[in-house]
Amino acid sequence: MRRAERRRSAASRDESADTNDLLRFELSFGARATLRAVQGDASATAAVVNERGRVQHFTLQLPQEPAATPLAALEAQILSWFDAAPEARAQIVFSTEQEELLRKDPIAVREAAWRAYRRSSMHESARADFAARKVRGIDQEAPFTLREVGMKPERGWPLVIAMHGGGGAPQRVNDQQWQVMQRYYADQPDLGYLYLALRAPNNEWNGFYDDKICVLIENLIRAAVLCADVDPDRVSLIGYSHGGYGAFVIGTKIPDRFASIHSSAAAPTDGETRGENLRHTIFTFMVGGKDTAYGRRERCEAFDKSIQALRGERTDLYPVRFELIEENGHTGLPDRQKVKELLRARRDVRPPDLVWSPSDEVLTDFFWVRVPTPRDGTRIEARRDGPRIELRLDGVEELEVLLDASALAGAEELELVCGDERRKLPARPSLRVLVESLLRRGDPRLAHDVVLRWGRAR
């Protein structure tokens, strides 16, 4: 029969204590015990046998905390940068040695910067909102539901954002449509993903496709990555009717946030839907042949023709597909299995070439280019070929090319070409550029540490 164990514990005294005031534990002769000292997460043990007439001395050496490595020290400083007030960040300077660490091991430094970003206290309100299942944008707030489907993949959850029908209707109608969307698409438990049904932020006709909505969607994705372990390369957007109009606008304004996009029973919006921005993003749309209200069928057919013209003879561009269901009206489209199709995709954040036609003055970033002051009616074409970057700019006075030093194959200088003008610029990675891009984008895959400036942005 096993002898019953007895445990006793007490806290040691510091150096100011009376030397006669000792920790005492009584142990009978011949008894065995284990002496264990604990401090924080560290511990040390020694075996004790109480032998008559023998004084035993034990030294328990607690493991010493390892000295902070240069990378750990840099991560701590980046964390302090994120935690600082905006006006105080300018006073935090990264040392020459820390900049050299970025140059020598950019991948490790980027990982450390992302860890610091995720740990930052600046996300407290976003985390609280996500726990309460709501998201904020520019003067907007929207609730959502979230549920797990299947098991989480090793690299994090894929995320499906679903947008309901309704729009310009009473509150109760949009609430009912939102409830339908919470279970509308067939679950695909073998794929493993999070299903998020987003309620429109208002009851307006364009609740899912005004100029503010993209900021709300970006904030939603940021929060999901931070709080729910979402894989930012596997975010999909889908919507029906009012939500489908949202997919046409959101998907073409910020395609760099999505692996795939689908719209049902909707149509492109004049002045907002720019199909040329879908050069490397999967986009599918479905409409009924009898769904002619508001010109839905006609506008979808016109959009399809415009995509075909953009694609030309190329088969590697514009992965956009139109499905016309001839005998169908506005409701009842055969799209309940669409989630399965969307989840096959993975986002490409660094395609070799871009076409960006901004449609508002809100969004400044698009994949690996940035316009500090975007305007409707402008156009950017950019192509990377090794150390050479070609630009075609229409109405754009200043542009930033955003690059990742780890993908530059050691190049220390890059050539920018725009029309007849050529410039050779240093490809110098910068910690400040890295942390500012993480702050602005909230996405480790869209972050960058090299910036080349053209025009007045130089």
Average pLDDT over residues 351-358: 97
Amino acid at 299: R
Task: Write down the H helix ranges in 94-241.
Answer: 96-104, 106-119, 124-131, 171-181, 213-228
The answer, yes or no, to whether residue 7 has pLDDT greater than 70, is no
Average pLDDT over residues 405-415: 86
Take residue 337 and report the two structure tokens written for it. 């299995």
Comparing CA positions, the residue from 81, 190, 111, 178 lying closest to residue 449 is 111
Average pLDDT over residues 1-23: 54
Residues 282-339 pLDDT 10s: 999 999 999 999 999 999 999 999 999 999 999 999 999 999 999 999 999 999 999 9
Q: How many CA atoms lie within 13 A of 217 on its CB side?
A: 34
Q: How far apart are CA 254 and CA 398, in angstroms?
A: 20
Give yes or no for a contact between 110 and 71, defined as CB atoms under 8 angstroms apart.
no
Annotation: CATH topology of 123-342: Rossmann fold (3.40.50)
DSSP 8-state assignment for residue 178: H
Which is higher by pLDDT, 298 or 6? Answer: 298
Question: Phi and psi for 189 in degrees, rounded to 5?
Answer: -65, -20
Q: What residues pair up with 90 in beta bridges, in sequence order? A: none
pTM of the model: 0.85
CA dihedral 276, 277, 282, 286 (to 10 degrees): -60
Q: How confident is the model at residue 88 (pLDDT cuts 50, 70, 90)?
A: very high
Q: What residues pair up with 415 in beta bridges, in sequence order? A: 388, 424
Residues 232-279 pLDDT 10s: 999 999 999 999 999 999 999 999 999 999 999 999 998 889 999 999
Give yes or no for a contact between 229 and 322, defined as CB atoms under 8 angstroms apart.
no
pLDDT at position 60: 63
Residues 95-138 pLDDT 10s: 999 999 999 999 999 999 999 999 999 999 999 999 999 999 99
CA dihedral 89, 94, 98, 100 (to 10 degrees): 120
Question: Domain coordinates of the chain in residue numbers?
Answer: 1-62, 81-119+350-458, 123-342
The answer, yes or no, to whether residue 211 has pLDDT greater than 90, is no
Q: How confident is the model at residue 34 (pLDDT cuts 50, 70, 90)?
A: confident
Q: How many CA atoms lie within 13 A of 104 on its CB side?
A: 8
Q: How confident is the model at residue 23 (pLDDT cuts 50, 70, 90)?
A: low
Which H or E element spans position 422? Answer: strand 421-426
Q: How confident is the model at residue 410 (pLDDT cuts 50, 70, 90)?
A: confident
Give yes or no for a contact between 335 and 264, defined as CB atoms under 8 angstroms apart.
yes
